[in-house]
Amino acid sequence: MTLVSTEWLSKNLNKVKIIDASWHLEKNRNATKEYKKEHILNAIFFDLDKNSNQNKSLHHGHFLPSIKNHQKNMSEMGVLNTDRIIVYCNSNLISSCRAWFQFIYFGHDSKLVSVLNGGMKKWKLENREITSKETKITLSKYIAKENKSMIKVK
């Protein structure tokens, strides 16, 4: 996994697609509401529940979605196959790594996907700019290619 520094991201904000992949286990925290209140400029929210398999028989878990659903969700988020993506989170679970894996699993070039070292916590500790401004999304046509060799099935 490649990491980028907060310093690097602050210099490249307009050259990358920024993904907030926060997800919380704590019942008193809501990642969607937190994102709407504050996020890194131009960040797009990656809803881990929506970006997981919605099959209710799987019980509680964030299993990978179908390739069709992944393509649909990425297209709705305006992600292009050629985008340089930086994923971060504001979670004790490091949910950014889960999102990073999903991008790689579905064929996004691994050289184009990185995790923000220290996440939102470090970003805020360094007093870097945060916003509540809604990020404008232009729909895209994302094409995924599943790399099934990355997971082991019983």
For 62-90, what is each residue's pLDDT tens digit? 577 788 999 999 999 999 999 999 999 99
Tell me how long the chain is.
154
**Res 95: pLDDT:** 85
Q: Which residues contact 114 (CB under 8 A, 6 or more apart)?
A: 1, 2, 3, 4, 85, 86, 87, 100
For 137-148, what is each residue's pLDDT tens digit? 999 999 999 887
**Res 60: pLDDT:** 53
Q: Where in the sequence is the domain holding 97, given as residue range(s)?
A: 2-150
Give the CATH number of the domain where residue 125 resides.
3.40.250.10
**Res 55: pLDDT:** 55
**Res 66: pLDDT:** 83
**Res 62: pLDDT:** 57
- Cβ atoms 81, 111 nearer than 8 A: no
Domain count, the chain: 1
Which residues of the chain have a pLDDT value below 70? 49-62, 152-154
Enter the pTM of the model. 0.87
**Res 147: pLDDT:** 85
